[in-house]
Structure 1
Amino acid sequence: MADTAPAETIARLDTVAVAGADPDHEQPWAELGLKEDEYQRIREILGRRPTSSELAMYSVMWSEHCSYKSSKVHLKQFGEIPQETPVGKMLAGIGENAGVIDIGQGYAVTFKVESHNHPSYVEPYQGAATGVGGIVRDILAMGARPVAVMDPLRFGPLDADDTHRVLPGIVAGVGGYGNCLGLPNIGGEAVFDETYLGNPLVNALCVGVLKHEDLHLAKASGNGNQVILYGARTGGDGIGGVSVLASETFDADGPAKRPSVQVGDPFMEKLLIECTLELFRAGVVAGIQDLGGAGLSCATSELASAGDGGMRCELDRVPLRDSTLAPEEILMSESQERMMAVVEPGDVDAFMEICAKWDVEAVVIGEVTDTGRLEITWHGETVVDVPPRTVAHDGPVYERPYRRPDWQDALQEDRAESLPRPSTGEELRAALLKLVASPNLCDKSWITDQYDRYVLGNTVLAQPADSGMVRVDEETHLGVSVATDCNGRFAKLDPYAGAQLALAEAYRNVATGGARPLAVSDCLNFGSPEDPAVMWQFAEACRGLKDACVELGIPVTGGNVSLYNQTGETAILPTPVVAVLGVIDDVRRRTPSAFGAEGEAIVLLGTTREELSGSEWAHVEHGHLGGRPPVVDLGAERALAELLADVVGVATSAHDLSDGGLAQALAEAALQSGIGATVQLADVAADPFIGLFAESAGRAILTVPADRLAEVERLAASRGVPAHSIGTTGGDALTVDGAFGVPLSELRAAWTGTLPAALGR
């Protein structure tokens, strides 16, 4: 129980009665991030000025991060996408803590990706760690056991001082929290670009597994049911944390607001996970909500508004780490490792016994009512009396002005295809070595070796594979595969096509492993919504993603929007990260991305075009960004995915072509296996440079035993997928006939040396 509040705190308490009697009391609404018209709307809703506690609740819940007030009008189109997947129906979708999809055999999977960008810049370790903790609790709240995490990351230039400050802490935070939880980190990305300097992106994804009957939802129903807060005590860390910090643009000298970043305790979270799963098994949970952004303000208002509409809570019952906290601070605190459950009165004793078994503190702080009001008291005095839906769901909705920026035409006309390019064998060789050593294409083991990728024993594929894959059922070997992708340069050149290319690459990466893509989650990272050019990028990306999902027949199950990602006037590259989840009936039949054996045929699938704009070659060799991104052909992507499913058990490896083109795909497949290759490019492109470095979408390479090459070619023809046999695996070098050869030892030295040299390990 909380300590008794100091007498002076009670004496100056801003109660509902006081607010009604003192309507002109000056309040710090602007300092809490509210606009004047928003504050006036709160007064209209309540018919009086808000109390300080009510003002705190509205300010965090109406923040950009929590209310999606600038993005709602664009996100609603995702609801137009058919909610059926290629396997079965969605069991829970947009609006829940995380989407839940049927994967067959009575199993369901929940997955979601969210951002913790600004807190990770202010305090890299704790910002990243609590980002992982938050997304894990979202998955847990659906009734699922978390089984894996992923971390799409973006940083400023590798040689920048601030990158050296934030990157080690962020990686350590992701690894430290996930490793302590005992969750494998099966994939992600680490991308470097100058626009992320001062505004790194830390996106965290979690996957959970449940049986259909174990699904739980966030709602408070049943008059008289008890509201129980359990987990860690509430402290002063993270007061207004992500809800305020992620709703503000950084100035050139750092964050404009530096509220406390949440402090994580992964060992408490591990107890919370096991305790919650046992509570589910015992059948004593009628509704549940994790406490993440906006803390108790979010949990109470969302549970009440999604249920029967009424709840009464006694805030002084909340266990505190700091007895000096005022009611509004308790409501705003984003202290981690906390959950809120709705429990029938007859189940409270059993609930408490299970919590005690796991050494998890639990306190009844209120009950469900039928009043339609959220009422919160502090030592017997009412400090909150609001319609809960107005806090949780009926916040401001802005139709921000947006327009195509004046500079977009000039940007698209500045084509990378016109840049000087290598032509001789020696120049091509030098370009390959330079690219494989570049920050975006180099070996990421410096990062991934800090993560436990195989704990729990069900990891089937993990970095550096194209996708992460985990086994769901140990008897049938049913499994799921997940990939996250986004090329922000493509999105800058054309945000509509860029979002579709992000989806296409993640879709393709899941398919190369042998899984069938099922569903999408997204984390849409953009600059300030108050900039019409940024809002145009956002609107186009949403439209592109929706149209692509409709064409591919896969739903968006949920996601996250992160705005105000910019430093001063410099916005990040528009970065709509897309996560695709797929299902595989038997993980033992997966297709790895590394070459399987010597003497096998290498087959290039798809069409190679002269597409260099936005490419890694243009970025590394010329520091150039301009032109139009590769052509999007979603029909070709679907056909390729179907073919990749057809060749499971025939192909010994499959690797998608994306950043760095064919050259990078061959290098990675060779280095991961230690098996070289000799290729001929005459059938790929007239110019060997285009054949090696173009980044056309809808392509992959396969290796197949020589005696099964004709079978693969027939399957490709039946799907309408161009297929060219371009060479053979074997030897200890990567050789392009008639151009150059590179020993794998030299290639490996270039590929693996970059991050250790820059980061000192």
Structure 2
Amino acid sequence: MSLADSDRELVVSELGREPTRAEAALFENLWSEHCAYRSSRPLLSAFDSEGEQVVVGPGDDAAVVSLDDETYITMGIESHNHPSYVDPFDGAATGVGGIVRDTLSMGAYPIALADSLYFGEFDDEHSKYLFEGVVEGISHYGNCIGVPTVAGSVDFHPDYEGNPLVNVACVGLTTEERLVTAEAQEPGNKLVLVGNGTGRDGLGGASFASEDLAEDAETEDRPAVQVGDPYAEKLLIEANEALVDEDLIESARDLGAAGLGGASSEMVAKADLGAHIELERVHQREPNMNALEILLAESQERMCYEVEPDNVDRVRELVERFDLGCSVIGEVTDGNYVCTFEGETVVDVDAYFLGEGAPMNDLSTADPAEPETDLPDVDLEDAFEAIVSSPNTASKRWVYRQYDHEVGVRTSVGPGDDAAIIAVREAEQGLALSSGGAPNWTDVAPYEGARAVALENATNIAAKGATPLAAVDCLNGGNPEKPDVYGGFTGIVDGLAEMCETLSTPVVGGNVSLYNDSVAGPIPPTPTLAMVGSKDGYDAPPLAVEPDGDLLLVGDLGLEAGSPRLGGSEYLAQFDGSDAFPDLPADPAAVVETLAAVANDDATLAVHDVSHGGLAVALAEMVTEDAGLEVAIPSDQPAGALFHEQPGRALVQTESPEAVREAFDGVAPVVELGSATDDGRLAVDAGRTLTADAAEIRDRRGTIERELE
């Protein structure tokens, strides 16, 4: 590890001396892109993070949003991209562990997880290896700690081959009385380290996450990957709950990037305070660890608590009941951030300078090129089969059936639907959760594609009868020092911020992951959005149709301009074409609000978002063995109408078509497509008739299961 020359000059000027080895390493990690957001922070002011429902916004371990006067939820999201390339199982597993501890540090109990995963082309053996390892890591850790994974997404794109993305979100539950933050409260309070012993795993993880992946990363960077212990995390969850129950915690921070040095310095920096830490007091699981290793190791399942002196013995008693380690390592002060090791001072710096002093980068941008229109000429039936069976649009059942999505008995609607519904009985509300991105969209049009990602997640929530409440984002990009890469990243930030503001949905927190670049090149600019919405009660209209009722399309067939725009579609990805990205609805907020109201209407039988794979895939997903569909597409451009992916559209099966038309009058067009049948067969008249029964559709959509089992 080494501190950049320009940063070293700044540190020397502030300290009035050369930094110690431990100080230099601490600055390198805390001033890394991963921790300091040096390239992205100047852009993040675009997000609107305020609202009457927002209790704690960006800057803490997780955001806090109110459901009612007494019930709060927490929201957080993080990436574990580079570690998951080097060691897919442990990299993904510890990503889950980290976001759950972010939830604990707010005094909340974790109630739901969502994972959004991005890999290289599915038919590539290395991509399959990473995919299988990541899913196994997430399922192992989440299942062991008893937190249901209820939502998420999986995308395959050739530009993730050298650098997959693993983005994990967590929702927790707390109250005003139980709320804890990461801001230290009072000099003289003790700092108590709780959890697993500290080892040498994960050293330099923050700086590792702030560099492009090298060709030999899978072997050379393995020591920077943390190793998780979900059984210890489960004990930590319950111990944290006991500590919160007895009001023993003044502030808390989980040990993630930059380990103890990062967590403890950030706690006191938030309050413009200091700390004195005796590193030899840290309970360790490996012998002969030096000061730098103790300070920066990213060993998992550890929390740092601020505790009043009179409560330390009770904290120790409770923690030992759960068979976890407990060390009183120092105290909060009103001076510098000081760490000693066996009587020698190894760190003595101003905590605020350490946490906030990194200079921001001033980077050049280049606008992405506008795509040309080059549409393939493909047989309609061949196209339908290819799109429905594509790994991007096929069933993700192979993934989510490995997750225990019902543990905790709160899951009312589980994975495989547009959005999950979690029963928050404390507030008598259903909490809808949707998480995902769309690399095909943001690759062809970063700004418009990001707007579409936000709208699609909101539409998913509205399809379950909920209205958007808040969101957190994970902004993934390549090397920002490349103007075209930084231009694309700027586009996804602005697009996501603009649409979330349009939807009156505050972005209350998030994560940035840059330098997702490898010898294969940069990833597409990839914004993952995890959005929650609320509704009265826990029931929601199903995705699948019933045997009787009219089917309507709310939204655009794309015929107004003569031919639908196919840019960013799976159709063009499959058949090597290009086109501009489709226009979005004129009033997306009204579309979302109206769709939620229609979804809750007693006459509504089923609702399904139309997005990836377009109308063709949405229709196929609604058919079951007991209920089919007969529809007609009024178009002389059937491929465009069936496969374009304009978001903000939905299929609604209803007993009252006129009521749906009336609800959307002046908001969005409503097209009558056809009706449901009882024969379990899809028949689409698009100039020629495409037919498939439920068994054929299930077989075509089973691409991932068929290849991996």
Write the distance in 2 (CA, Å) between the matches of 1:316 and 1:547: 49
The residue that corresponds to 1:692 in the other structure is 642
The residue that corresponds to 1:608 in the other structure is 557
- Quote how far apart the aligned CAs of 1:674 are: 4.5
Matched, 1:401 2:364: yes
1:665 to 618, 626, 640: 618
Q: Residue 634 and residue 226 in structure 1: after superposition, are their counterparts in 2 closer, same or farther (change >3 A)?
A: farther
Matched, 1:45 2:25: no
Checking the alignment, whether the CA contact within 8 Å between 1:640 and 1:721 is kept in structure 2 is: no
What residue ranges of structure 2 are gaps of 5+ in the alignment? 559-563
1:199-348 equivalences in 2 (<5 Å): 199-241=163-205, 243-254=206-217, 257-348=221-312
2:701 to 719, 731, 751: 751
- Quote how far apart the aligned CAs of 1:421 are: 3.8
Write the distance in 1 (CA, Å) between the matches of 2:286 and 2:599: 60
Write the distance in 2 (CA, Å) between the matches of 1:294 and 1:107: 33
1:50-61 equivalences in 2 (<5 Å): 50-61=19-30
Checking the alignment, whether the CA contact within 8 Å between 2:367 and 2:484 is kept in structure 1 is: yes
Matched, 1:83 2:50: yes
Matched, 1:392 2:341: no
Checking the alignment, whether the CA contact within 8 Å between 1:308 and 1:369 is kept in structure 2 is: no
Matched, 1:515 2:469: no
- Quote how far apart the aligned CAs of 1:253 are: 4.8
- Quote how far apart the aligned CAs of 1:745 are: 1.5
Helix, strand or coil at the partner of 1:259:
helix
Checking the alignment, whether the CA contact within 8 Å between 1:56 and 1:331 is kept in structure 2 is: no
Checking the alignment, whether the CA contact within 8 Å between 1:133 and 1:177 is kept in structure 2 is: yes
Which has the higher mean CA deviation after the structures are superposed, 185-194 or 634-643?
634-643
Q: What percent of counterpart residues are identical?
A: 37
Matched, 1:419 2:350: no
Q: Residue 252 and residue 370 in structure 1: after superposition, are their counterparts in 2 closer, same or farther (change >3 A)?
A: closer
Write the distance in 1 (CA, Å) between the matches of 2:179 and 2:10: 37
Checking the alignment, whether the CA contact within 8 Å between 1:607 and 1:698 is kept in structure 2 is: no
Query: What does the per-residue CA deviation read over 1:306-341, in whole Å, with 9 as the maximum and x for residues that have no partner?
Result: 125111111000001112211111111000000000
The residue that corresponds to 1:721 in the other structure is 668
2:156 to 192, 196, 207: 192
Write the distance in 1 (CA, Å) between the matches of 2:573 and 2:347: 54
Query: What does the per-residue CA deviation read over 1:457-493, in whole Å, with 9 as the maximum and x for residues that have no partner?
Result: 110112210012111116x631211111221122122
Query: What does the per-residue CA deviation read over 1:478-536, in whole Å, with 9 as the maximum and x for residues that have no partner?
Result: 12111112211221222111111111111111111111101121111111011111111
The residue that corresponds to 1:108 in the other structure is 72
1:703-742 equivalences in 2 (<5 Å): 703-705=653-655, 708-717=656-665, 720-730=667-677, 731-737=679-685, 738-742=688-692
Write the distance in 1 (CA, Å) between the matches of 2:481 and 2:520: 11
Helix, strand or coil at the partner of 1:702:
strand
Matched, 1:464 2:416: yes
Write the distance in 1 (CA, Å) between the matches of 2:394 and 2:571: 13
**Number of residue equivalences:** 699
- What letter matches 2:704 in structure 1? L
TM-score by length of 2: 0.96
Checking the alignment, whether the CA contact within 8 Å between 2:565 and 2:579 is kept in structure 1 is: no
What residue ranges of structure 1 are gaps of 5+ in the alignment? 1-30, 423-427
The residue that corresponds to 1:169 in the other structure is 133
The residue that corresponds to 1:541 in the other structure is 492
The residue that corresponds to 2:509 in the other structure is 558
Query: What does the per-residue CA deviation read over 1:533-574, in whole Å, with 9 as the maximum and x for residues that have no partner?
Result: 111111121112222222221111110111111212611111
Write the distance in 2 (CA, Å) between the matches of 1:284 and 1:680: 64
Helix, strand or coil at the partner of 1:668:
helix
Root-mean-square deviation (Å): 1.6
Query: What does the per-residue CA deviation read over 1:331-384, in whole Å, with 9 as the maximum and x for residues that have no partner?
Result: 11000000000011111122112112222221111011112x001111111111
Checking the alignment, whether the CA contact within 8 Å between 1:679 and 1:726 is kept in structure 2 is: yes
Write the distance in 1 (CA, Å) between the matches of 2:585 and 2:493: 18
Query: What does the per-residue CA deviation read over 1:135-167, in whole Å, with 9 as the maximum and x for residues that have no partner?
Result: 011111111110010110011111112113211
The residue that corresponds to 1:441 in the other structure is 393
Checking the alignment, whether the CA contact within 8 Å between 1:485 and 1:503 is kept in structure 2 is: no
Write the distance in 1 (CA, Å) between the matches of 2:301 and 2:39: 29
1:179 to 143, 147, 152: 143
The residue that corresponds to 2:457 in the other structure is 506
Matched, 1:631 2:600: no
Query: What does the per-residue CA deviation read over 1:154-193, in whole Å, with 9 as the maximum and x for residues that have no partner?
Result: 1111111211321111110000000001111101111111
Helix, strand or coil at the partner of 2:359:
coil
Write the distance in 2 (CA, Å) between the matches of 1:384 and 1:674: 69
- What letter matches 1:598 in structure 2? P
- Quote how far apart the aligned CAs of 1:215 are: 1.4
Checking the alignment, whether the CA contact within 8 Å between 1:245 and 1:258 is kept in structure 2 is: no
Write the distance in 2 (CA, Å) between the matches of 1:463 and 1:686: 36
Helix, strand or coil at the partner of 1:689:
helix
Checking the alignment, whether the CA contact within 8 Å between 2:594 and 2:664 is kept in structure 1 is: no
Checking the alignment, whether the CA contact within 8 Å between 1:69 and 1:397 is kept in structure 2 is: yes
The residue that corresponds to 2:561 in the other structure is none
1:489 to 417, 440, 457: 440
Helix, strand or coil at the partner of 2:59:
coil
Checking the alignment, whether the CA contact within 8 Å between 1:91 and 1:101 is kept in structure 2 is: yes
Write the distance in 1 (CA, Å) between the matches of 2:328 and 2:424: 35
TM-score by length of 1: 0.89
- Quote how far apart the aligned CAs of 1:637 are: 4.7
Write the distance in 2 (CA, Å) between the matches of 1:488 and 1:638: 26
